[in-house]
A and B are shown apart, each in its own frame.
Chain A
Amino acid sequence: MSRVSVPCHVKGTVALQVGDVRTSQGRPGVLVIDVTFPSVAPFELQEIMFKNYYTAFLSIRVRQHTSTHTPAKWVTCLRDYCLMPDPHSEEGAQEYVSLFKHQMLCDMARVLELRLILRQPSPLWLSFTVEELQIYQQGPKSPSMTFPKWLSHPVPCEQPAPLIEGLPDPNRVSSEVQQMWALTEMIRASHTSTRIGRFDVDGCYDLNLLSYT
């Protein structure tokens, strides 16, 4: 299935923390990343791909276009998806992750905006985030690839044997016909850019092209 990357704008991470960020000693355990699509109409999301960096759990909320009158609502489409089985150890900490439409909790049509909520309960890691975020929508419906006939041509050993008595030798016929084809192809390819300078069309002249002198 083909997919097409959607140009997106990834906003800076926002840390959620109780108390004053500057004075508090504890590091935040929740980050929020907003993703907007300024140059795209509402689209059907196919896949989200990113490289994890020490995020243990991921939730995603989506804002979908419903109708022109009702304001769009935020819906949770992925809840606490586990990226690191043990938040205190390295496993899964720096892996590439792909999340598909069918893994989501809701329908992913007409997407306007995404919000990624990242959690890391372990205090072992100094920071955590996701990198190289890419959003894909479905490409043109399974392109109908029709293969040229010569690609699926039977190989020489599967050929049907000469069938009828008295048929001209196909090998020699083929060789002559191929020569004729080559000569024609040669003439088709050769062309001159020089024009002889005729101004008439089908034997008639355009009055505007004739001078009166």
Chain B
Amino acid sequence: MAAVEKRRPAVAPAASFTDSGRPAVSRTAAPADSEEDFLRQVGVTEMLRAALLKVLEARPEEPIAFLAHYFENMGLRSPANGGAGEPPGQLLLQQQRLGRALWHLRLAHHSQRTAFNNNVSVAYECLSASGRKKKPGLDGRTYSELLKRICRDGEAPEEVVAPLLHKIQCRDHEAVPLDVFRAGMLTCFVLLEFVARASALYRLLEDPALAVADRRVGQAVLDTLEGALQASDGAPVPARYLEAGSRLGPDSLALAMDRALVARRPSSPMTREEFLEKAAALFIAKVKPVA
């Protein structure tokens, strides 16, 4: 198979995988001796190794879909793909860079801290290696744009994430250091997971018949969570964790919910949006703003 490839005149697909930084291998000048040499020369060995490393790092559930995405992204990376000879518009380039950065960021879950940090660094480089004339660096506009994109794709309601964006986004003209970038990305992804959890919680709380949750129960659960978060702010770490564990145990939650229902207050529905918003507010209160 490879031997057949070799004899064919130079065609685009292999060349499109070569990184822009590396000079394209001229195949007529140095004819490859063996199949292995050929693969190395056109960069396939290196490329597959990188792809395998990414698979190992991310451990995706569906490796084929993952690799398909990966190679699609590699294709995007080469500027030759932009159009027939025409340089793509600045806006399009920007969108491409954002897309690439997002893709890198999503490769690993934030709990795989090393992999996630690596990917954040790669995304940061992706974004900061911008136009040819501009100085390298990431400005606040791109950063805020990326934050918005992450939140929008994360299926979290707009009004839920807006306070967070307000808290961690930078101004358009500001240069964003890597640490701030990393903290922002981490916070954003963690919030999305938090909202997903809150959403699952809401499904548990909602009445199967009415498809809404009782406000009293929802508020009781949120109050319990808030209490655990604020209980002993100044206490040393193990004591704080123990206290939170006790407050959030099934029995104390059951008590809180029971008390809420027994109290003679009229029952009223609590919508999913409201519940998510209130839950997210508890989270966002603990986020340190960009200073």
Contacts and interface: CB of A to CB of B under 8 A. Distances in A.
Given A183-B190, A194-B177, A173 B283 contact: no
Interface stretch (B39-47, B59-67, B220-228): B220-228
A184 B204 contact: no
A173 B253 contact: yes
Interface stretch (B17-25, B89-97, B125-133, B194-202): B194-202
A125 B154 CA distance: 90
A159 B247 CA distance: 14
Interface stretch (A64-72, A82-90, A162-170): A162-170
Contacts of A173: 201, 204-205, 221, 250, 253, 257
B134 interface: no
Interface string A139-168: 000000000111001101001101110111
B245 A170 contact: no
B279 interface: yes
B197 A179 contact: yes
B152 interface: no
Contact of A168 (B193, B247, B257): B257
A148 B254 contact: no
Contacts of B242: 148, 150
Given A173-B205, A192-B182, A196-B180, A183 B197 contact: yes
B194 A183 contact: yes
Interface residues of A, number: 41
- Interface size class on chain B is 35 or more
B121 to A, nearest CB: 14
Main secondary structure of the interface of B (DSSP, over half): helix
Given A168-B204, A177-B253, A191-B183, A150 B197 contact: no
Contacts of B48: none
Contacts of B244: 181, 185
B155 interface: no
B201 A196 contact: no
A180 B190 CA distance: 10
Given A148-B239, A173-B221, A177-B225, A167 B248 contact: no
B208 to A, nearest CB: 9
Interface in B228-251: 228-229, 232, 239, 241-251
Given A162-B254, A164-B261, A181-B229, A174 B183 contact: no
Contacts of A148: 232, 239, 242-243
A190 B183 contact: yes
B53 interface: no
A167 to B, nearest CB: 6
Contacts of B179: 192-194
Give 9 closest A-B pairs by Cβ, nearest first: A150-B246, A194-B179, A170-B254, A170-B250, A176-B201, A174-B250, A192-B179, A188-B286, A192-B183
Interface of A: 148-150, 153-154, 156, 159-160, 162-164, 166-174, 176-181, 183-188, 190-198
Interface of B: 170, 174-180, 182-183, 186-187, 190-191, 193-194, 197-198, 200-201, 204-205, 207, 217, 221, 224-225, 228-229, 232, 239, 241-251, 253-255, 257-258, 261-262, 279, 282-283, 286-288, 290-291
19 contacts: A148-B243, A150-B246, A153-B249, A163-B254, A164-B261, A167-B257, A168-B205, A173-B257, A174-B250, A177-B221, A177-B253, A180-B197, A180-B225, A181-B229, A184-B283, A190-B186, A196-B174, A196-B175, A196-B177
